[in-house]
Structure 1
Amino acid sequence: MKQNNLKTWFKSGTPWVWMNAGAVAIAVVMTLGLLLVIATRGLGHFWPADVIEADYQMPGQASRVLAGEVVQLEEVPRARLAASGLPVTAEGGEFMTRELLKVGNREVYGADFSWVVGEWLANLRTPADLTVLERREWGNFYGYLLNVKESGQLVAEGEAAWGELQRRIDRVDALHKDIVTLEKQDIGRINHGLERLRLQGRKLELQGKLDAAAQADLDAERAQWDAEYKVLETRLVELYQAFNRDSVTVRTVDGREQEISLGKVVRAFQPNAMSFGDKLGFYFIKLWEFVSDEPREANTEGGIFPAIFGTVLMTLIMAVIVTPFGVIAAVYLREYAKQGVLTRVIRIAVNNLAGVPSIVYGVFGLGFFVYVLGGSIDRLFFPEAAPAPTFGTPGLMWASLTLAILTLPVVIVATEEGLARIPRTVREGSLALGATKAETLWKIVLPMASPAMMTGLILAVARAAGEVAPLMLVGVVKLAPSLPLDGNYPYLHLDQKIMHLGFHIYDVGFQSPNVEAARPLVYATALLLVVVIATLNMSAVYIRNHLREKYKALEH
């Protein structure tokens, strides 16, 4: 009886339902766990941790004072520490604690991270006046504030130095913004105008039209640009003099004094003296800086806004390119092509293209788009720029086109499936009412298939936004100093190289000279990439659901 009940239970399909439900639950838990690990390790980097000060006494050596942030703790076998050359004795347990301290002060200690043995740390303390200077270069500096100077002259010292330091950092920050605006926007506009003028003169020369009158016009316009540049250059020199005027003297915990120009300091704070509310406010400031600022210190400090901008812009351009081509190809295969051997072969080829490794598309994009197509465009339309390439070099356009070719099979297959699901009676009813085949396709079939098109676009965006390998060949670089969208004609510079979140993760994680400083930024950038992809996908899903509700009545 029990055996019959067991057979009936298996035949009912209930075990497979539970197995599928369990598999889905495990997948969801694993995904959420992965996101939680990434978020914890990435977002925790921006919290202003307390800075400890301690006496470090290695057996047989003199005691020295250390200060820094505890980044990592781990239990290490005592034998392993002894094998590494540390003076570890046989006394004690089998394991010892090893701590990774961010000690900063790279120009003093040579490295801003140091491993120490926890059992050798004594007299741990968190002095309230221990100051952290976050710098534009060389990482953090930890020490005690002694005084503030202006042009080498003492301005404030002791307790008065802290307030004076904050006021002067605000002043330096404002000057830095003025300098960046002047260099990137105003002087950048002049450089763009001078380059355009040079190319215009070269073009006239190649065409044999560079006569005395044309040369005079070019010289007059160049003189105007030069005069404007001299004014801005004078202003820039004044800003830099004011920018580098102030300095601060800091004493390290082991008694060494260091004078640091405030032009190199981003902010100064005392984490041990900060309340929870102060730390929370500081945390959100750092988080906003991460998503809105430019990278610095070999991409291990600052923000990643250029990478966010490049990723989103490239994905949008890819979507604009791949959607019409994919839809047209699917419409032809489903609505117009004769359903024979050739059509089946084409469909098989499209399905196989979806499984080709992405690096192959990158090699194709480099060979065809960059060298063949881009080189031809340069010879036809930009001969005055030779031998410097304009479109004959990796850039935004070729990166977007390469991703469009990579994701084209996904859009074709999804659109074809959507077209196949539309009832034949809908087409016949439209034709019976006097509509042509083209009108039926444009006004009835395609609108009803639009949710399927959006599904293909969602899949294309999800794959394209996370690709890295092909982009390394066709337009993505480690650092792009300017955005491809600015106020200079033609405003959108499709020939310019860009930054990308996926490549940024690879560069910071595997090419950074400072691995310990880069590690938390790898997690933070990975989390941001997931958020960007999810945002793009959710936008497409919303549009798809809206279209599905709009045309649901026609399906019935």
Structure 2
Amino acid sequence: MRNWFKSGAPWIWLTAGSVSISLIAVLGVMAMIAWRGLSFFWPAAIHEFEVRANDGSSQVIIGEIYDSEEIPMQRLRESGVVLDGYDEETLTRVLLKVGNREFVPLDFMWVMEPQIVRDETPDTLAVVERSKDGNFYGYPLHLLENGERVASTDLRADIQQRIERAVELNEKAADLQQSDIGAINFQLNRYRLERRALELKGELTDSEIARIEAGEQQLRDDYQVLEQQLFAYREEASRDSLVVRDMRGVEVTLPMYRVLDITFPNDMGVFSKVGHFFKQIGKFVTENPREANTEGGVFPAIFGTVFMVLLMSVIVTPFGVIAAIYLHEYAGKNAITRIIRIAVINLAGVPSIVYGVFGLGFFVYMVGGTLDQIFYPEGLPSPTFGTPGVMWSAITLAILTLPVVIVSTEEGLSRIPSTLREGSLALGATKAETLWRIILPMASPAIMTGLILAVARAAGEVAPLMLVGVVKSAPMLPVDGNFPYFHLDRKFMHLGFHIYDVGFQSPNVEAARPLVYATSFLLVTVIVGLNLTAIGVRNHLREKYRSLEH
């Protein structure tokens, strides 16, 4: 036994076991998040329950079974709930998602199984997805066109056709409002700032005023034309309505311009459910959020996360590489260099919220405020760069991840044999040429390793971003068709902050819980995608310059 311990075999097995347990734990957590997140998009059966109370009254409830649990009867008795004729020790209750938010006080309600006297899943029950007030559950009865009932031989096909028509008109109206009308508003604001800038310089002449007013008048005329077209789209979209009977037995008229989709989950086969599953995932990835981020998609958050990480990578990589080259190739081996290395290593352990406070105070208020006073005085007192935005978020996270890139790059530089440097210098190359043509190409895999670690940390950071740029809902993306196309002063959405907002700030916690898991899985997928891209580049560089190492 003593010889076995001396051989080092126990430590090998202990290390292998620890790595295996860690890997299994990570895969288990990922599987749990994926299951709970992706199951949200699978079409669940719609139940129609008849629930009878102790006083003999009955109520019809329509909804999806969201969860179930076993509870002891003693707990119910202590809370004042008494069930006549039920003598078991435990009781099963189910949590139903009932929707119909404008008519039902709660989206979710608990129903105890002993009170259920009827449980049916009719094929004609429908789930109506709406842009406002959440899903609506009920029985579609007929269509209305301009308030008049429409005769229909195939109601489902006619409903789907009119939904597609309304969705297409709504998309045209949204595109018109965001692109053409948005561009006009952007240009009007540019004219306003130009007038203010000329006034501050004392160059606001009559000719300049006439030119600006003529441009503004032309934009207003164009705006009137586009506004009439916008109203026409909205009026056409509001032509149709759908009449649905809800669980109260009341016929409710749903305007078609608010309906996004209608499904009949109880009448779906396996292939139909699979198609609907992938369709819902696609909508989740490509659409904008709705209902205080508790419904709809997360495309602005995906775009903001990727854009901010890429901008951070562009900033941190050159600074980190230059700092590592100086420390390893130029700085002397003295006390000052050792202090700098210790400081760089210690910076990696500073809490991220400290970086956020520093970014808010230094970059936003000091640097951004100074830029506004020098370059954008016409916009004051409304700040341009003196307010949190995507640029300050990227710079703050670049400083946060800078130690990782420096340490990784310096380790890569230290692994390059000194004979290569000496051979290059002996052949007449300067030190700068040696660095550019020999050292940096060979150190590029280590640089990419540092960048991978930086991306992995930056993409998941939330605390500093809450201070320097991220918001709950951003009306515009940092990139659009208006010059200069990249608007680094704008605020943005982030998947990490979206998870925090939906999970802890949502007024409807039960409805938001699946979105938390789905967004968490999506955030991990985005990080893995960015890392795999960087790993692919690193492996390519490693193979390309492998011959130089020999």
Same fold (TM over 0.5): yes
Q: Which amino acid aligns with 1:83?
A: E
Q: Any conservation in 2 of the 1:362–1:470 contact (CA below 8 Å)?
A: yes
CA drift of 1:514 comes to: 1.0
Q: Any conservation in 2 of the 1:156–1:164 contact (CA below 8 Å)?
A: no
Q: Any conservation in 1 of the 2:86–2:114 contact (CA below 8 Å)?
A: no
Q: Any conservation in 1 of the 2:321–2:409 contact (CA below 8 Å)?
A: yes
Corresponding position: 1:268 with 2:259: no
CA distance in 2, matches of 1:344, 1:81: 67
Please point out which of 274, 281, 302 is paired with 1:280. 274
Q: Which amino acid aligns with 1:141?
A: F
Q: Any conservation in 2 of the 1:132–1:143 contact (CA below 8 Å)?
A: yes
CA distance in 2, matches of 1:207, 1:501: 43
Q: Any conservation in 1 of the 2:137–2:246 contact (CA below 8 Å)?
A: yes
Please point out which of 447, 450, 469 is paired with 1:453. 447
Q: Any conservation in 2 of the 1:112–1:139 contact (CA below 8 Å)?
A: no
Please point out which of 401, 408, 423 is paired with 1:407. 401
- Cα shift readout 1:341-380 (whole Å, capped 9, x = no counterpart): 1111111111000000000000000000000000000000
CA drift of 1:61 comes to: 4.2
Please point out which of 73, 77, 97 is paired with 1:78. 73
Residue aligning to 1:3: none
Corresponding position: 1:107 with 2:108: no
SS in 1 for 2:541: helix
Point out the more displaced range, 249-258 or 39-48: 249-258
| 4+ runs deviating over 4 angstroms | none
Residue aligning to 2:114: 119
Residue aligning to 1:352: 346
Residue aligning to 2:546: 552
CA drift of 1:89 comes to: 5.2
Q: Which amino acid aligns with 1:344?
A: R
Q: Which amino acid aligns with 1:39?
A: A
Residues 457-472 of structure 1: matches in 2 within 5 Å?
Answer: 457-472=451-466
Point out the more displaced range, 277-286 or 250-259: 250-259
Corresponding position: 1:422 with 2:420: no
Residues 476-495 of structure 1: matches in 2 within 5 Å?
Answer: 476-495=470-489
Please point out which of 116, 141, 148 is paired with 1:146. 141
The two structures have a TM-score, normalised by structure 1, of 0.97
Q: Which amino acid aligns with 1:57?
A: R
CA 303–311 in structure 1, closer or farther in 2 if over 3 Å, else same: same
Gaps spanning 5+ residues in structure 2: where? Answer: none
Point out the more displaced range, 496-505 or 544-553: 544-553
Residue aligning to 2:129: 134
Residue aligning to 2:181: 187
Residue aligning to 2:510: 516
CA drift of 1:193 comes to: 0.7
CA drift of 1:253 comes to: 2.5
CA distance in 1, matches of 2:109, 2:158: 32
SS in 2 for 1:329: helix
- Cα shift readout 1:453-503 (whole Å, capped 9, x = no counterpart): 111100000000000000000000001121111110000000000000000
CA 61–368 in structure 1, closer or farther in 2 if over 3 Å, else same: farther
Q: Which amino acid aligns with 2:5?
A: F
Q: Which amino acid aligns with 2:124?
A: D
Residue aligning to 1:238: 232
CA drift of 1:288 comes to: 0.2
CA distance in 2, matches of 1:493, 1:425: 48
Residues 80-99 of structure 1: matches in 2 within 5 Å?
Answer: 80-88=75-83, 91-99=86-94
Q: Any conservation in 2 of the 1:149–1:156 contact (CA below 8 Å)?
A: no
SS in 1 for 2:151: strand
- Cα shift readout 1:264-311 (whole Å, capped 9, x = no counterpart): 111111111111111111111101000011111111111101100000
The sequence identity of aligned pairs, in percent, is 58
Point out the more displaced range, 106-115 or 392-401: 106-115
Corresponding position: 1:437 with 2:408: no
Please point out which of 61, 75, 80 is paired with 1:66. 61
Q: Any conservation in 2 of the 1:144–1:252 contact (CA below 8 Å)?
A: yes
- Cα shift readout 1:234-257 (whole Å, capped 9, x = no counterpart): 111111111222111111133122
- Cα shift readout 1:418-444 (whole Å, capped 9, x = no counterpart): 111111111111111111111111111
Q: Any conservation in 2 of the 1:78–1:88 contact (CA below 8 Å)?
A: no
CA distance in 2, matches of 1:471, 1:224: 40
How many residue pairs match? The answer is: 550
